[in-house]
Amino acid sequence: MRSGRRLAVLASRVRFEEKQIMAALDRRGATFVHLDPRSLVVADGVSRSGFVLNREVGHYRALYAASALESAGATVLNSAAATHVSGDKWLTTSALLAAGLPTPRTALAMTPEAAVDALDQIGYPAVVKPLVGSWGRLVTAIPDRPTATAVLEHVAALPSPQQHVVYVQELVEKADRDIRVLVVGGEALGATYRRGDEWRTNVARGAVSTRCDLTDVHTKLAVAAAEAVGAEIAGVDLLEDADGHLTVLEVNDRVEFRGFQDAHEIDVADVVASHLITRAEA
């Protein structure tokens, strides 16, 4: 198979997923280059045509590399706009709400002091999350007001002004699992349960992925959530509360899929490679 435009995979860290995608591109006969953003310079006025799959692990490097490459004429998948929205928890919540999708009740406080009021409005137990970050890092369950006061004092001591804007969310009472749906090109590939020993069910924190039968509701929510943030390739996290009601928690634009691939007989890397080639030939 020959691609109509130059292909590239943008990644500073070649993990299971990136290696599998590159191998899939090789198997499909697609010529591509590996772009390492650590050495990437995009100069004003220099054209960079081509089609770039963004697999950079660092959010800010992924975002600015995508933006710079797009400015120079490249098409980046997912787009810089999608990475901007899905990489920020508040922007994601805002996009989900604008699309009319169910998502846990959330408040944004502009200072740690105001976050005490935000928590009172959301009610306890609640969760405080950093706006940017992944793998469940620094996501903190807040059972009561005394704990909130202590945690928010720590938040106030953090160095970045962005860290002083506090994202507060209801703690959804759920089983020991959430649901991850993979979406590529507007189609849901399947779903997994992610179960862990702690309340944060991130695979990076030891949660295990097992197959989940994809329902029409899962599909509808996940595809709509990916579209809401503008992501062509996405891992959409759904929460199911004790009554079976589903909400969209977040959308991951540079999705890790090793656990998903292990739980399904789906070659996700090949689906991503195929989508990249198809888009480049369009």
Q: What is the DSSP string of 126-190?
A: EEEE-SS--TTTT-EEE-SHHHHHHHHHHHHTSS-GGGGSEEEEE---B-SEEEEEEEETTEEEE
- The residues with which 32 forms a beta bridge, in sequence order, are 7
The residue among 75 and 134 lying less far from other proteins, judged by its C-beta, is 134
CB closer to other proteins, 59 vs 279: 59
Contact present, 108 and 166 (Cβ < 8 Å): yes
Distance (Å) of CA 212 to CA 197, 215, 238, 269: 18, 9, 12, 19
Question: Which tokens is 202 given?
Answer: 């991130």
Residue 212 or 233 with smaller CB distance to other proteins: 233
> In whole angstroms, how close is the CB of 12 to other proteins at the nearest point?
6
Helix pair 145-156, 112-122: axis angle to 10 deg: 150
- Shortest distance, CB of residue 243 to other proteins, whole angstroms? 29
- Least distance to other proteins from the beta carbon of 216, Å? 26
Beta-bridge mates of residue 248: 238
Beta carbon nearer to other proteins, 122 or 264: 264
Nearer to other proteins, 22 or 222 (CB): 22
Sole residue written with tokens 């009610």: 123
CB of 158 to other proteins, least distance (A): 10
Between 23 and 157, name the residue whose CB sits nearer to other proteins: 23
Return d(Cα 212, Cα 109) in angstroms, integer.
Answer: 36
Least distance (Å) from other proteins to the CB of residue 45?
28
**Who's near 265: CB < 8 A, 6+ residues apart?**
none
Please give the residue ranges that form the binding site for other proteins (CB under 8 A): 11-15, 19, 22-23, 34, 36, 57-60, 132-135, 137, 204, 235, 252-256
| Min CB(138)–other proteins separation in Å | 9
